Each structure stands twice: as structure tokens, then as C-alpha cells.
């Protein structure tokens, strides 16, 4: 029985150590979530302004004919998939990967019909181990990524569309709803949907010409949408990890309470047995 008490005590200490770790990870995720939300909010004015300028130019006849705004027959599709580098985030990565696989299985019959651009080690490892056509990857992003960190992969994906090597491009990421709600999404990035200007009646003058400005802005706008999705995904990742670590902390507390109850019962049983043995010995000597 003494050995049983030691084993239960060891388990209690193990669960207490685990609870300290998960609680610390939860608090770290809370702080990172706040910073990620602030950064996502700070990036939105730029996105809105570039969208407004594009809408103003594209409202003209010449602007609407830009190749990045034109729909063409789809022979090959590109997917930009955003996952995390680390785990311990509940279903964050698993849900996103399943959503991508569902989209691929519904739209394509062979791997010749699509290519993948993967951001994040979890997604990269999953798709590469299963021989999916990953042609560009980015791993090891900082906790607060800058546009330069994903510029190369975003530019590569947009360039393939502009060169007509792919005919449509999808952006796959976890859309942030709240700290406890992240929605895996597969949104069409290219060809760009027609955008409407929020500033009706605004009058812009462009140098050297509106067509040349549009040719520069459209790829930048598409790349900006990728970066905005990454910031949204980062907020989702921290929210998912915060929730997962909170649940793990609660589970550890439940296990500590259960093991403590077992320990008290075992200790009481050991004391009762010792008393019974003493009483039996005394009775034998009487």
C-alpha cells in the first residue's frame, strides 16, 4: 500500500507540473493574441486605401481589361495554405488541412491540376510527406511577421497567375472570429473580384498613366491580401493555442483532484488496515 501511495503522489506532482506549464503557455498566448489583433487592425487602413485606388482606376474601361481582373478557363489552380510552425493549438492546423484536402478532392482529379504554396512547418510537413505538389514554402516565421517575411512566396504565386501558368489562386487560412472561434476558409484570391470604391466622387490624377499605375498596384494588392490573411491566421493561431492550453489546464486540475481523492482513500485504507492489525494482535495476546 505504501508503494501505491508513492505512485499516486508522483502522479499528482506530475499533473501539477503539467498544469504550471499549460497555464504559462495560455498566458503567453493571451499576450500574443492581443499583439496579433493590434497588428491586423493596423494593416487594414493600407489595404482599404489601395483597394479604393484600384476601384477608382478599374472603373474605367481600360482598367477593367487588366489580366489580373479577367476570368479565363481553368486548367491549373494554385493554393496558398497558411498553417503554423508549432503545435499545441488544438484543431487549428488539422482543421485547415482537412479544409484544403476537401477543396482539392472536390475540384481536381490529379495532381497535375494544382500546385501548393505553403506557409508554416505543420502544413509543409504534412503535404510534402504525402508527395503533394508543394512548389514554394516558408517556415520559421516570427511571432509578429512583417510583409517582407512572406513577400517572396506571395510574389511567386501572383506571378504564376500573371504569367498564366495557373488560372486561379485560392487563399487558405483560419479566419479569426474570436479567441474561441476560428473558421477554416478557402477564398478565391485571383482573378480579383471587382472592387467598389468607398469614396464616391473622388478625383485622382495618375502619373505616368492610370493603366501603368494599375499594373503596379494590382500585384501589390494581391500580395497585401496574402499578408492580411497571414495576420488573421496568426491571431487565430494564438486564440486556438490559448483555448487549447486553457482546456489542458482545466483537465490537469481535474486529474489532480481525482488523484488527490484516490490518495486520501488509499491513505485512509492503509491506516484502517494498520489499526485492524493492531487490534487483531492485541486480541490474540489476550
Q: What is the pLDDT of residue 178?
A: 81
Task: Evaluate whether 77 touches 228 at the Cβ level (below 8 Å).
Answer: no
* Low-confidence spans in the chain with pLDDT less than 70: 1-3, 56-66, 194-207, 209-210, 277, 280-286
Say whether both 100 and 212 belong to one domain. yes
Say whether both 47 and 167 belong to one domain. yes
Say whether both 265 and 136 belong to one domain. no
Q: What is the pLDDT of residue 285?
A: 67
The range of the structural domain enclosing residue 255 comes to 2-25+245-279
Number of domains in the chain: 2
DSSP three-state, residue 249: helix
What pLDDT digit, counting tens, does each position of 205-252 carry? Answer: 666 766 777 777 788 888 888 998 999 899 899 888 998 898 889 898
Say whether both 149 and 268 belong to one domain. no
Say whether both 42 and 173 belong to one domain. yes
Say whether both 159 and 257 belong to one domain. no
Q: Is 169 exposed, middle or buried (0-12, 13-18, 19+ CB in 10 A)?
A: buried
Provide the CATH number for the domain around residue 266: 1.10.287.80
Single pTM value for the model: 0.81
Residue 141 lies in a domain: yes
Provide the CATH number for the domain around residue 167: 3.40.1380.10
Say whether both 48 and 148 belong to one domain. yes
Say whether both 177 and 222 belong to one domain. yes
Say whether both 65 and 143 belong to one domain. yes
Residue 286 lies in a domain: no
From start to end of the chain, where are the E strands? 77-82, 114-119, 134-138, 168-178, 181-190
Say whether both 54 and 125 belong to one domain. yes
| β-pairing verdict for 114-119 and 134-138 | parallel
Q: What is the pLDDT of residue 192?
A: 77
Say whether both 13 and 49 belong to one domain. no
Say whether both 188 and 74 belong to one domain. yes
Amino acid at each position: 500500500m505504501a508503494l501505491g501511495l508513492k505512485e499516486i503522489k508522483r502522479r499528482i506532482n506530475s499533473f501539477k507540473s503539467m498544469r504550471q506549464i499549460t497555464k504559462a503557455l495560455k498566458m503567453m498566448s493571451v499576450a500574443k493574441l492581443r499583439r496579433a489583433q493590434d497588428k491586423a487592425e493596423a494593416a487594414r487602413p493600407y489595404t482599404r486605401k489601395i483597394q479604393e485606388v484600384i476601384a477608382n482606376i478599374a472603373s474605367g474601361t481600360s482598367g477593367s481589361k487588366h489580366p489580373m481582373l479577367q476570368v479565363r478557363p481553368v486548367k491549373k489552380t494554385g493554393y496558398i495554405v497558411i498553417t503554423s510552425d508549432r503545435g499545441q493549438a488544438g484543431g487549428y492546423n488539422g482543421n485547415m488541412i482537412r479544409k484544403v484536402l476537401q477543396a482539392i478532392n472536390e475540384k481536381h482529379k490529379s495532381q497535375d491540376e494544382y500546385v501548393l504554396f505553403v506557409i508554416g512547418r505543420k502544413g509543409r510537413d504534412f503535404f510534402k510527406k504525402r508527395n503533394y505538389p508543394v512548389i514554394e514554402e516558408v517556415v520559421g516565421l516570427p511571432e509578429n511577421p512583417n510583409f517582407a517575411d512572406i513577400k517572396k512566396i506571395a510574389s511567386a504565386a501572383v506571378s504564376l497567375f500573371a504569367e498564366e501558368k495557373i488560372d486561379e489562386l485560392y487563399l487558405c487560412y483560419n479566419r479569426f472570429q474570436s479567441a474561441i472561434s476560428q473558421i477554416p476558409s478557402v477564398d478565391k484570391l485571383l482573378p480579383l473580384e471587382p472592387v467598389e470604391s468607398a469614396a464616391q466622387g473622388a478625383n485622382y490624377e495618375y502619373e505616368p498613366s492610370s493603366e501603368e499605375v494599375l499594373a503596379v498596384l494590382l500585384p501589390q494588392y494581391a500580395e497585401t491580401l496574402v499578408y492580411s490573411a497571414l495576420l488573421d491566421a496568426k491571431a487565430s493561431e494564438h486564440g486556438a493555442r490559448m483555448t487549447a492550453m486553457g482546456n489542458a489546464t482545466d483537465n490537469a486540475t481535474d486529474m489532480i483532484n481525482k488523484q488527490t481523492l484516490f490518495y486520501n482513500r488509499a491513505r485512509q485504507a492503509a491506516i484502517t488496515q494498520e489499526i485492524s492489525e493492531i487490534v487483531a494482535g492485541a486480541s490474540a495476546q489476550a
